[in-house]
């Protein structure tokens, strides 16, 4: 790995303690699919008044713009690619714009790059089901078996450096419950405001 990439990896790892991003995408062009049913705003199925919202728009032939709004109202924008590995669907997410804390030195921002994140999509309709990486399980796996998947480690933080093919083999090997993905969250289409 060249020095510039290593600095970027180290910078990202230091700033994303709860996340394990990948340098490489989890898909190849032949894996991509486009499903128009994904388009729209999906609200977390919850009894709470304030919930997480994932809003998908079509951008290009086989890509989506995803604007995610968390329960605190904070937003993030991603380019999302839906793809299939065997019979399973996934979303590869990469941030479009990373805004770092204003109290950090510019050098921290310069060493950052957008990393790929993976979400499993067991179902799109009637409810959208999304399963996020179980970062605790993955971190433990990489700690106990460092050769299981290429990565860079900085303290207790990881960045995946495996090729796309290696990532896909690893994902398919660890789809069982209690492994790579958390239990899916459920989302329903957000109701449109009534017209007056």
pLDDT tens digit sequence for 135-151 = 999 999 999 999 999 99
What number of helices (H) and strands (E) belong to the chain? 4, 10
In this prediction, residue 157 has a pLDDT band, given cuts at 50, 70 and 90, of confident
Which residues partner with 139 through β-bridges?
Answer: none
DSSP helix/strand/coil, 51: coil
C-alpha distances in angstroms, 85 versus 67, 164, 172?
24, 12, 8
Assess contact for 82 and 33: CB atoms under 8 A.
yes
pLDDT tens digit sequence for 67-95 = 999 888 888 899 999 999 999 999 999 99
Per-residue pLDDT for 45 more than 70?
A: yes
Give backbone dihedrals phi and psi of 153, rounded to 5 degrees, phi first.
-120, 135
Give backbone dihedrals phi and psi of 162, rounded to 5 degrees, phi first.
-65, 155
In this prediction, residue 8 has a pLDDT band, given cuts at 50, 70 and 90, of very low
DSSP helix/strand/coil, 13: helix
**Sign of torsion over alpha carbons 102, 105, 110, 115:** negative
pLDDT score for 36: 96
Share of the chain above pLDDT 90, in %: 63
């Amino acid at each position: 790995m060249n020095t510039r990439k290593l600095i970027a990896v180290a910078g990202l790892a230091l700033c994303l303690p709860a996340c394990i991003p990948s340098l490489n995408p989890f898909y190849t062009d032949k894996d991509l699919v486009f499903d128009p049913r994904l388009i729209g705003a999906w609200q977390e199925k919850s009894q709470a008044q304030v919930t997480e919202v994932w809003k998908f728009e079509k951008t290009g032939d086989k890509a989506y713009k995803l604007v995610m709004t968390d329960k605190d109202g904070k937003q993030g924008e991603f380019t999302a690619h839906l793809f299939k590995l065997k019979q399973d669907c996934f979303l590869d997410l990469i941030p479009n714009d990373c805004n770092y804390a204003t109290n950090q030195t510019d050098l921290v921002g310069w060493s950052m790059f957008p990393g790929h994140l993976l979400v499993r999509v067991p179902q799109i309709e009637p409810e959208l089901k999304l399963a996020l990486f179980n970062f605790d399980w993955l971190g433990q796996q990489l700690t106990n078996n460092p050769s299981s998947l290429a990565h860079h480690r900085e303290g207790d933080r990881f960045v995946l450096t495996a090729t796309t093919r290696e990532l896909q083999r690893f994902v398919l090997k660890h789809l069982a419950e209690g492994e790579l993905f958390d239990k899916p969250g459920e989302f329903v289409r957000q109701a449109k405001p009534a017209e007056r």
